[in-house]
Amino acid sequence: MTIKYLLFVAICLGIARDIYAVDLTLKPGETSNAAIDATIRKIRDNCILAQDYYFLRRLAVAQMNSIAATTGGIWRVTNTQLTTVQSACNGILKTNCSKAKTEFNVDVSTLTMSDLQIPLYSGLAMSLFILKSVSPVPLQKAQQAQSWKKYIYSSGDTTKFVTWSNELERLNGE
């Protein structure tokens, strides 16, 4: 084989990879770590919830471990939480909701519960709920666990939240 042929194959494979790449943040039902991390990266990079101190990542693990839900997506957003966010899109969260529309072409005010099966939509809804209800986000895991129980999932076990957070950090080498 010649260098030209190998170069041609490499270029074609690279182009094919880019053409056929799937954006996991938009794949309904996706719950992989890659989808969670990509969703959080998009939300942070677009300053929707820029200073969450890893709360959104810890929250994804805690919610998925605690709630066997078929709706609400990765972050197990409830209908009440979604309605709270949608109401706030006309008020206190107007700027943030506008940014979601501009950056992601997502009109949060029209999302349905079934839309939340898309990781980006679930992540946006929970991020906006955090901004509305939990802000400012606590820095420490123990305080984040308390906020999770107080504002997001009243049946949550704060000890387990901290344990899951520690396990997540070990897995990620943090």
The answer to whether residue 7 sits within a structural domain is no
Q: Quick one: which of 138, 70, 91 has its CA closest to 78?
A: 70
Q: Where are the alpha helices (DSSP H) in the chain?
A: 3-20, 33-45, 55-66, 79-88, 94-104, 119-133, 141-147, 158-172
Residue 150's domain comprises 25-172
Read off the pLDDT of residues 152-166 as tens digits, 9 standing for 90 and up: 999 999 999 999 999
Q: Please indicate whether residue 13 or residue 150 has the higher confidence score (pLDDT).
A: 150
What's at 108, amino acid-wise?
V
The answer to whether residue 3 sits within a structural domain is no
The pTM of the full predicted model, rounded to 2 decimals, is 0.86
How many domains does the structure of the chain reveal? 1
Q: Please indicate whether residue 69 or residue 107 has the higher confidence score (pLDDT).
A: 107
User: With 70 as the cut, is the pLDDT of residue 6 above it?
Assistant: no
Read off the pLDDT of residues 44-103 as tens digits, 9 standing for 90 and up: 999 999 888 999 999 999 999 999 877 899 999 999 999 999 999 999 999 999 999 999
